[in-house]
Structures are given as structure tokens and as C-alpha cells.
Amino acid sequence: MTARHHATNLPACLDVAPEVEEALAAGRPVVALESTIITHGMPWPANLETARAVEDVVRTGGAVPATIAVIAGRVRVGLDGATLEALARKADVMKLSRADLPFAVATGRDGATTVAATMICAALAGIRVFATGGIGGVHRGVEETMDVSADLEELARTPVCVVCAGAKAILDLPRTLEALETRGVPVIGYRTDDLPAFWSRSSGLPAPLRLDEAGAIAAMIEAKRDLGLEGGVLVTNPVPEEAEIPRAEIDAHIATALAEAKAQRIAAKAVTPFLLGRLVELTGGRSLATNVALVKSNAALAAGIASALSTGG
Ligand code: PSU
């Protein structure tokens, strides 16, 4: 099926930016980018600067960036500069996962897409590769809260390759890895045998699979499709060494932030944004610099994978 043919079957609420649509129709590489990282993951103005810089990294890597968000009930795949800036400045944007996406569309709301919702929208538009910072996963204390990110379920069902720096280390990483395995999601360590832990290059857990080249990852994505296996592929790319925060150091701050979240009864969707925000404060801004560096690095790898897919690996 060509992208053009695909485009004619798009849902009425989907607006694909002309540049993105042209690239897809011509079989040129496109990388999807999410928007929750902009609205709930980073403070103003670093959020806008990062969103722009990440788009530039994708372009430098030879692909077209498609930042995804819901604006006034329209699912926008590819945002112009003014819309991106307005979104980054806005305080009351919904955080949309699978469950909230149809609500935001039907009620004409503005919403930022999480990994789960971005995967859904990317797949609808025909985009196969998506770069983010870190996926959501099984939260610590899951025995009490049942808090498991919808990102994991989405990886099991929607055929998009997600490039991240691991699951965020605020989570229960062994359980997150188990949950991915149970759901049949391939987890690839890029040039590493260790599962990365977002701010740190290693979680101390082994990465289930390892591939060292973008072309090899593209070949695996194709093989998965040929086999008729539903769901995505998770690529975990360790944060660049110079931007890493050692595990022992970040772990101490995570413990502090988690205790505060518990004391303040922060729950559900608010947990991750609260913890990320507190870590920026507790590390004197260092965790933000690390976050920015790892997203850029993931965007570059995603552009490489998308390019390899478009040229047949
Ligand atoms: N990566 C980042 N910062 C973020 C996120 C990813 O560097 O804020 C977002 C993604 O949108 C991801 C979400 O889906 O965090 C996870 O939220 P939760 O734990 O509530 O599922």
C-alpha cells in the first residue's frame, strides 16, 4: 500500500502537514515526535527550545520531523512553528493517552500526546519510527497503586518503532522489563548489552536483545512485519556519556522525589510530570540538560532507522 493510497483512508479528524504527507507519499523517511514531553516533561522555555532542536536533529539526519498533538480537537501530524510555540506556552493542555484521545477529539480540546497516543496517531498517518525521551512503565509501589503506563500496552499492539533512552528510572525497571517481555515487545539495546536507565547509561539489567546499526534495526522491523506480528519495537539508546548522571547520584534524588509524591498524594497521570519537575530542581537543572541530550540522541538514531527503512534497509 503506498502512502498516498493510505492517505486517502485517513480519519477525518487527522491533519497531516503537507511536508509530512509529501514525504510519506514519496517513501521518504519521517520521524514522529511526541508532545507530552513539551507540555508536561520540561519547563518553559527549555521545552520549546528542545522541541525545535529535536526537529532540527531529525532533519540533519535526513528525515522529516512530525511532531504530533491534538489542537482544538484535530489530530495534527506535523506542527508549524507558531502552533508548536503556542502549545509549549500553554499551561492547561490535556495529557492524552489511548483512553483520552477520542475525548479530546470529540470535545475540541487541546492535548499533548504521550508515547501511547503518539504511536496511535503515527500509525494512522503511516509513520513507522518515533523518537522520545523515555517510555512510561510499571511504577514503583505498583502492588498498591496498580499504576502501569498505557505505553506498555500500546507497544504490544501498535506497529511503530519507539526510540528511547530506556524507561525512566523513576519506575520499577525490572517489572517494566518483565511486562514488556510478557507482551511480546522486542527490547533492543543499541550498541549496549545493558538496559539504559534514562539519565544513566545502565540500569544494571541486561538488555534482552542487542543491535549495533540502524540498518539492522530496520531489518528487524521488516522481519516483524513479514511475520505478521502485531505491536512495536522498543529501541533503547543510552544517553551520550558526557551528559550522563551516574546511577547512584540520580537514585538518591529519585528517592527524595518519590517520597514527596507519596506525602502529597500525587497520583495517576500527575506522577511522572511531578517527579520529572522535582528532579530538575533537586539536580539544579542537570537532569533537564541530560533529558535534552538524550532526546536529541534518540532523534538522530530514529532518523537513521527511518532512512534505512525507506531505502529497504
Ligand atoms: N520522555 C521524556 N519526558 C516525558 C515523557 C517521555 O523525556 O515527559 C512522557 C511520554 O509522553 C510518556 C510519559 O508517554 O512521559 C509517561 O507518562 P506516564 O508515566 O504517566 O504513563
SS (H, E, C) 136-173: CCEECCHHHHCCECHHHHHHHHCCCEEEECCECCCECH
Whole-number Å distance between alpha carbons of 176 and 155: 12
pTM above 0.95, yes or no: yes
What's the pLDDT score for residue 1? 38
Could you list the residues known to form a binding site for Mn(2+), using ranges.
147
Domain assignment of residue 74, yes or no = yes
Q: Using the 8-state DSSP alphabet, how is residue 29 labeled?
A: -
Radius of gyration of the chain (CA): 18
ipTM: 0.97
Domain assignment of residue 4, yes or no = no
Domain assignment of residue 158, yes or no = yes
Q: Which domain holds residue 78?
A: 14-246+289-310
Provide the number of structural domains found in the chain. Answer: 1
Whole-number Å distance between alpha carbons of 237 and 269: 25
Give the residue whose CA is nearest to atom 8 of ligand 1: 41
User: How far, CA to CA in Å, does 187 sit from each of 110, 113, 224, 288?
Assistant: 32, 22, 13, 25
Residue with cell 522486542: 186
Domain assignment of residue 188, yes or no = yes
For the chain, residues with pLDDT lower than 70 are: 1-8, 313
What's the pLDDT score for residue 312? 76
Domain assignment of residue 263, yes or no = no
Q: Using the 8-state DSSP alphabet, how is residue 257 labeled?
A: H
Whole-number Å distance between alpha carbons of 26 and 232: 23
192-213 tens-digit pLDDT:
999 999 999 999 999 999 999 9
What's the pLDDT score for residue 8? 62
Could you list the residues known to form a binding site, using ranges.
95, 115, 147, 149-151
Domain assignment of residue 282, yes or no = no
Domain assignment of residue 264, yes or no = no
Distance 8 CA to ligand 1 centre (A): 31
CATH of the domain at 206: 3.40.1790.10
Domain assignment of residue 144, yes or no = yes
Distance 152 CA to ligand 1 centre (A): 12
* Other Cβ atoms closer than 10 A to 313: 17
Distance 272 CA to ligand 1 centre (A): 7
Give the residue whose CA is nearest to atom 19 of ligand 1: 136
Distance 149 CA to ligand 1 centre (A): 9
Residues with CB under 6 A from ligand 1: 34, 36-37, 40-41, 114-115, 132-134, 136, 149, 151, 269, 272, 276, 291, 295
Give the residue whose CA is nearest to atom 7 of ligand 1: 133
Query: Could you give the residue numbers annotated as active site?
Result: 34, 168
Give the residue whose CA is nearest to atom 15 of ligand 1: 136
